[in-house]
Amino acid sequence: MRFATFFALPKKIFMIAVFSALAIPLAQAQTETVLYNFQGYNDSQGPYAALTPDGKGNFYGTTSFGGENAYGTVFELSPNGDGGWNETVLYVFAGRTADGCFPYGPVIMDNKGALYGTLSFCGPTENGAVFKLTRAGETWKETILYNFTGGADGAGPTSGLIMDKAGNLYGTTTYGGATNGGTVFELSLSAGKWKEQTLYNFDGSDAGLVMDAAGHIFGVGATTVFELSPKGNGVWNPTVLATFPPSRDGRDDLQGTPVLDNSGNLYFTRSLGGTHTSGAIFELIPGKNATWTRKTLYSLEGGDDGENLQAGLMLDSAGNIYGTTVSGGLFSWGTVFELIAPAGAGSYKHKVLWSFDQTDGESPYGTLSFDNKGNLYGTTVYGGSAHVGVAFELTP
């Protein structure tokens, strides 16, 4: 996704659901439950990002729009004890120079319960910001850690952050930097102030980052998969691991935050790539002498199979892969899918776990989350009772 896409999408919220939710369980083996229907103004609207669990049964997330200022919110979902869920808006962004606006990425939580995230626009120079929310009694206090200038430091952060063991934050910007294609940045706390350092200038992406146990960072640009290796004293060594040509319509379509397994294999998606140009899932396998082998795990067929991979992937302990498509499926409004890992040297098997029909959600852009029982949680940007998005649970 690029910014031009973001502001065209909300026009769809006025579409009317035309399919009956009663027909879905007959065609689908899993059970989907809408945990919350977002309500738009004075509540929240348009959740693009994943839900972040706190380990206590609660989830935290962002909406890109909504709230009384219409600039987006941070919210909490918590079980109410009666089988339902309560939604609480924790913070409403003021927009413009006040703090920031339009959080498209998820939040992360530190070991003290503080939340961190990015704002794609607004701020003093309208180039976005990194924020922190800290609980203060019954309310939450926002602190802007860094305002982007749009120059060498980048502009328009639309993905989430990662945090290392020392508490440093890492993320990406979609624009700015040496070539105006975006940056990878680090924020580190020193003497009570956060300092920004640009680690890498790349070819444009709104995908997030992943870090391995050795502190190496992996990410995707518009057409490249890259690794940043720490060299000490704030120096990072960039390596391009794989390069892809533009997709069927000339767009750059590596999407979603990559994910690592315990063996160091890297998994990522291409939104409209693959044999059928409907999207594909790839694996990069590390080898000797710093070489990587690329493997296509599955190419979506479009239609009922799903189409358009925008989110990152999730892995379970058995090596199965889970993800979402923005469109396609039984009703054309997106899917949740599983790639079942082969027992031996065979191929992954693709299974559509759920097809959205608008009444229960439409267009899931965010990465999925797990609970400790293996249930899947996520959000859709549109659909639901108010047509402005839902939070959902999918159970086997």
Helix, strand or coil for residue 70?
coil
Place of tokens 């079980």: 79
Q: DSSP state, 389?
A: -
**For residue 10, how many other CB atoms are within 10 A of its CB?**
15
In 3D space, the residue among 305, 220, 320 whose CA is nearest the CA of residue 270 turns out to be 220
Q: DSSP state, 24?
A: H
Topology of the domain covering 26-395:
Methylamine Dehydrogenase; Chain H (2.130.10)
CA distance 71 to 122: 9
- Bridge partners (DSSP) of residue 162 are 170
Which residues have C-beta within 8 Å of that of residue 306, sequence separation ≥ 6? 278, 279, 300, 325, 327, 328, 329, 334, 335, 337, 352
In 3D space, the residue among 351, 383, 378 whose CA is nearest the CA of residue 12 turns out to be 383
CA distance 220 to 159: 12
- State the pLDDT at residue 2: 42
Query: What region, left, alpha or beta, does residue 313 occupy, with left being phi > 0 and alpha being psi -120 to 50 degrees?
Result: beta
HSE-CB at 101 with a 13 A cutoff on CA atoms is: 19
- State the pLDDT at residue 241: 94
The domain segmentation of the chain, as residue ranges, is 26-395
> Is the dihedral angle over the CA atoms 174, 177, 119, 111 positive or is it negative?
positive
In 3D space, the residue among 113, 144, 110 whose CA is nearest the CA of residue 130 turns out to be 144
Pairing of strands 129-136, 139-147: antiparallel
- Which residues of the chain are modeled with pLDDT < 50? 1-27, 250
- State the pLDDT at residue 233: 82
Helix, strand or coil for residue 283?
strand
Which residues have C-beta within 8 Å of that of residue 243, sequence separation ≥ 6? 223, 224, 225
For residue 156 the two structure tokens come to 């328009």
CA distance 76 to 57: 11
- State the pLDDT at residue 18: 30
Give residue 278's identity as a one-letter amino acid code.
S
**For residue 289, how many other CB atoms are within 10 A of its CB?**
4
Q: DSSP state, 167?
A: -
What is the C-alpha radius of gyration for the chain, rounded to an integer number of angstroms? 20
Q: What are phi and psi of 73, to 5 degrees?
A: -145, 165
pTM of the model: 0.90
Q: DSSP state, 320?
A: -
- State the pLDDT at residue 76: 97
